[in-house]
């Protein structure tokens, strides 16, 4: 199959081949996509997480036209290319080989396991620091705007744990956890539903004990929850929607 590479800093992945269609996810600079179907100027593509959607041709470039052999990963950096142009790259985007970071940081792929170890404490630390202040955006996956499962997928991905895109998909991974919501271990994933059929609609990352971090529409984005604060109506509603937890470490 033909592959392309995202050229824009962030490219929306949409439900239908139309500019006004719902954004279902995002794809970041340097990431490779497989073309499944074409309706010029739209392409139905699949990324490394097997999630599919439509992307406009203007967001991508031919595979190999820009080299990414070094595999440098942006940690919210601003780079300058050979033309002298500067642009910001979000967390998780790849830095072209011929671009030079001016501000922020880029990490070589080989150094990622040391920088982002595969431990519960490191994962929760990343969720707390890298996404602090992030606004809620349906389909988003970066600190520029993200949804609940986008936060989870990106944070765990930095630590070498590949998770699927949607909360309902993430809920099928790992091992079941028997503990109550306010007694989960750090980095456990807790799942919630606000639907009568109990279909999963939300995911959060436990911090250990009665605390969790998530991106929630009801909070406008990033929030740390203290589950003991039952005087907060949102906390009460969240606890009432809890279904179960999974451990993916």
Q: Which of 56, 148, 159, 223 is catalytic?
A: 148
Please name the residue that has the structure tokens 């998530």: 214
Task: Provide the pLDDT for residue 66.
Answer: 84
With 0-12 / 13-18 / 19 or more C-beta atoms within 10 angstroms meaning exposed / middle / buried, residue 175 is: exposed
Exactly one of 31, 77, 159, 202 is catalytic; name it. 202
The whole-number pLDDT of residue 127 equals 97
For residue 64, what pLDDT is reported? 87
pTM: 0.95
Taking the CA atoms of 226, 170, 59 and 71 in sequence, report the sign of the dihedral they define.
positive
Considering the domain 3-62, what is its CATH architecture?
Roll (2.30)
Q: Looking at the domain 116-247, which fold is it?
A: endopeptidase fold (from Nostoc punctiforme) (3.90.1720)
Residue-range domain boundaries for the chain: 3-62, 72-111, 116-247
Is 148 considered catalytic here?
yes
Alpha helices, H only, 95-195: 112-115, 120-130, 148-158, 167-170
Sign of CA dihedral 230, 236, 238, 243: positive
Q: CA 6: distance to chain centroid?
A: 16
Average pLDDT, consecutive stretches of 10 residues, N- to C-terminus, the chain (249 residues): 95 97 97 97 96 98 90 96 93 95 94 97 97 97 98 98 97 94 95 95 96 96 94 94 96
User: The dihedral of CA 65, 63, 81, 160: what is its sign?
Assistant: negative
Catalytic residue among 31, 77, 159, 214: 214
Tokens (6 digits) for 44: 């139905």
Is position 214 annotated as part of the catalytic site?
yes
Q: Are 184 and 227 in contact (CB under 8 A)?
A: no
Per-residue pLDDT at 82: 87
Task: Give 138: exposed, middle or buried? Use CB within 10 Å, 0-12, 13-18, 19+.
Answer: middle
């Amino acid at each position: 199959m033909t592959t392309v590479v995202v050229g824009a800093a962030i490219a929306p992945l949409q439900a239908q081949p139309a500019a006004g269609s719902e954004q279902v996810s995002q794809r970041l600079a340097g990431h490779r996509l497989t073309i499944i179907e074409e309706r010029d100027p739209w392409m139905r593509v699949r990324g490394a997480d097997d999630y599919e959607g439509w992307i406009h041709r203007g967001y991508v470039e031919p595979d190999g036209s820009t080299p990414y052999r070094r595999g440098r990963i942006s940690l919210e950096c601003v780079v300058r290319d050979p033309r002298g142009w500067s642009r910001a790259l979000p967390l998780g985007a790849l830095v072209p080989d011929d671009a030079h970071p001016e501000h922020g940081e880029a990490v070589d792929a080989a150094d990622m396991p040391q920088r982002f170890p595969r431990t519960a404490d490191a994962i929760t630390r990343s969720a707390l620091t890298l996404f602090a202040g992030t606004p809620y955006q349906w389909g988003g996956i970066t600190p520029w705007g993200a949804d609940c499962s986008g936060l989870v997928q990106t944070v765990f991905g930095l630590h070498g744990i590949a998770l699927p895109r949607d909360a309902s998909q993430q809920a099928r991974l790992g091992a079941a956890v028997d503990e109550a919501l306010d007694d989960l271990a750090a980095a456990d994933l807790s799942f919630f539903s606000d639907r009568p059929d109990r279909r999963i609609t939300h995911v959060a990352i436990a911090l250990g004990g009665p605390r969790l971090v998530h991106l929630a529409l009801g909070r406008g984005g990033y929030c740390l929850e203290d589950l003991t604060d039952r005087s907060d109506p949102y906390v009460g509603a969240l606890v009432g929607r809890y279904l179960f937890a999974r451990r993916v470490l």
